[in-house]
Amino acid sequence: MEEIKNILISRGYTEKQALAIAPELLQIDNSLQKGFRCWLVSEEETDYIVEGFKLSELKHKFDLTYPAALLTIDWLIKEPERAIKSINRGINNKDNMSQFQLTTKVNIPLSGGMRIDKGQTFFVNLPFGHLPFDSINSKEAVTKRLELEGFNIKGHESILSSGYFDFKKL
């Protein structure tokens, strides 16, 4: 796991993000292991198609890193009904979405010694007419984006406010 963490860090993940995502990557379906190992060694990205979804297209449409897209394909293998519903909701709503840039105002401590550093930036797509933190659905979208970035905010949901994040519509 240490090797995977170090490779993720060398490819742009923070140490905290790498620590959060490395164990998940170790548990991906056996059919994805060869592609993951290839990416670790050479950054070559093996494409997969599962349940009609192509990894490279998911990566592009949702602005995912290769490891995040690989975890999405793994989700399609392990929980196809939930994954398909969620992905389709995101694809179908993509054209009716507004993108926001969120930037942390302060260091935000999380469980397990993790924290979101002041000035860290995230991008989230929300349904047209909504703002980050203005509804349960908007907060869930921000939470999911933070999880994709390797941050588990469970137990810290109170940070989902403009007191902790600046945001602007892009």
- In this predicted model, what pLDDT tens digit does every residue of 92-143 receive, in sequence order? 555 567 788 999 999 999 888 888 999 999 888 887 677 888 888 888 889 8
Q: Is the pLDDT of residue 90 over 90?
A: no
Q: What is the pLDDT of residue 12?
A: 85
Q: Is the pLDDT of residue 14 over 70?
A: yes
**Confidence band (pLDDT; 50, 70, 90) for 88?**
confident
Higher pLDDT, 89 or 162: 162
**Confidence band (pLDDT; 50, 70, 90) for 70?**
very high
Q: Is the pLDDT of residue 26 over 90?
A: yes
Buried b (16+ CB within 10 A) or exposed e, 48-75: bebeebebeebbeebebbbbbbbbbbbb
Q: What is the mean pLDDT of residues 16-38?
A: 91
Q: What is the pLDDT of residue 67?
A: 92
Q: What is the mean pLDDT of residues 13-20?
A: 83
Q: What is the pLDDT of residue 94?
A: 52
CA distances from 55 to 27, 102, 105, 138, 150 (A): 18, 26, 34, 26, 19
In angstroms, rounded to a whole number, what is the distance separating the alpha carbons of residues 55 and 69? 6
Flag whether the pTM goes above 0.75. Answer: no
